[in-house]
């Protein structure tokens, strides 16, 4: 049985950034070359998740850093395309050194010896009434003795510029707060983002209004997505992130040719068939 159409924070973010990017990733599911930054994020997340498999006294910065290279070898074994991520051994060594620094920064922000997470890399989903299935992976869920819930997300990048209000990150965390509240019947008390490049921290204490607002935003985004699907047209939205997009050869903004839209792929991904198809 096919999975029902779903929306995650990353998919919503793709559509808000550029509907055509959303189409290529979610509808067409086109492959993308691995990036060093994204792969480092995956690697550091994996090390931090496995760190909590250890007894509390063994959760030291030295142990975490020692586990970085073995985890990297495991990743390369599973994904052979990662072997070409770096130009040479020197570039790979510098990249791994960046990873070790991110782990050291994590220990400046938290003491994992004092934590026993209730969930790690936890897949969560909930059906929104008259809306999409909401889905995502939460880095960590902590539950205090009094039952209060904290959601923690690790970011291997730097703290967002306050001039832009960390809009994307706030949306993501409130999205998860909505999902967790529906699943556990209790609103999370604290949403926490840890930025491991520079040691920044962003904390949100969500209110009922926050949850209502993010639900409204989710419904708005989903309405725009389904309207684009019904029209069979996912438009471009040129912006400062276009320079990092791997689909420029298929983007009209850069002289590329947009491939024909497959109506069956649209229906499978979004539950809507383009009009006239």
Q: What share of the chain in percent tops pLDDT 70?
A: 98
The H or E element that residue 172 is part of is: helix 167-184
Q: Which of 242, 225, 241, 153 is nearest to 192 (CA)?
A: 153
Structure-model confidence comparison of residues 166 and 19, the more confident one: 19
Per-residue pLDDT band at 4 (split at 50, 70, 90): confident
Task: Flag whether pLDDT at 245 surpasses 60.
Answer: yes
CA distances from 22 to 32, 121, 250, 266 (A): 13, 24, 13, 11
Q: Where are the domains of the chain?
A: 36-114, 119-214
Per-residue pLDDT band at 253 (split at 50, 70, 90): very high
- pTM value is 0.93
Cα–Cα–Cα angle for 237, 239, 242, rounded to 5 degrees: 95
Contact 6, 127 (CB under 8 A): no
User: Thinking of the domain 119-214, which architecture would CATH place it in?
Assistant: Alpha-Beta Complex (3.90)
- Looking at the chain, how many residues does it have? 277
pLDDT by residue (tens digit) across 38-53? 999 999 999 999 999 9
- How do beta strands 149-155 and 190-195 pair? parallel
Cα–Cα–Cα angle for 148, 182, 149, rounded to 5 degrees: 15
pLDDT by residue (tens digit) across 84-135? 899 999 999 999 999 999 999 999 999 999 999 999 999 999 999 989 999 9
């Amino acid at each position: 049985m096919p999975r029902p159409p779903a929306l995650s924070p990353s998919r919503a973010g793709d559509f808000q950034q550029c509907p055509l990017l959303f189409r290529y990733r979610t509808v067409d599911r086109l492959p993308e070359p691995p990036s060093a930054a994204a792969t480092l994020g995956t690697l550091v997340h994996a090390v931090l998740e496995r760190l909590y498999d250890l007894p509390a006294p063994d959760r030291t910065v030295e142990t975490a850093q020692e586990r970085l290279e073995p985890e990297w070898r495991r990743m390369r074994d599973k994904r052979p395309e990662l072997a070409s991520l770096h130009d040479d051994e020197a570039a790979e060594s510098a990249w791994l050194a960046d990873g070790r620094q991110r782990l050291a920064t994590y220990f400046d922000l938290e003491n994992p010896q004092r934590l026993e997470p209730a969930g790690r890399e936890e897949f969560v989903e909930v059906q929104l009434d008259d809306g999409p299935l909401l889905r995502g992976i939460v880095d960590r869920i902590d539950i205090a003795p009094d039952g209060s819930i904290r959601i923690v997300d690790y970011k291997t990048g730097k703290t967002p510029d306050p001039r832009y209000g960390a809009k994307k990150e706030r949306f993501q965390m409130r999205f998860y707060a909505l999902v967790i509240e529906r699943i556990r019947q209790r609103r999370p008390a604290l949403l926490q983002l840890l930025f491991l490049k520079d040691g920044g921290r962003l904390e949100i204490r969500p209110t009922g209004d926050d949850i209502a607002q993010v639900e409204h935003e989710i419904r708005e985004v989903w309405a725009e997505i389904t309207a684009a699907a019904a029209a069979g047209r996912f438009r471009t939205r040129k912006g400062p992130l276009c320079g990092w997009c791997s689909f420029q050869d298929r983007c009209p903004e850069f002289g590329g040719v947009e491939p024909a839209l497959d109506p069956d792929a649209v229906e499978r991904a979004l539950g809507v068939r383009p009009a006239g198809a």
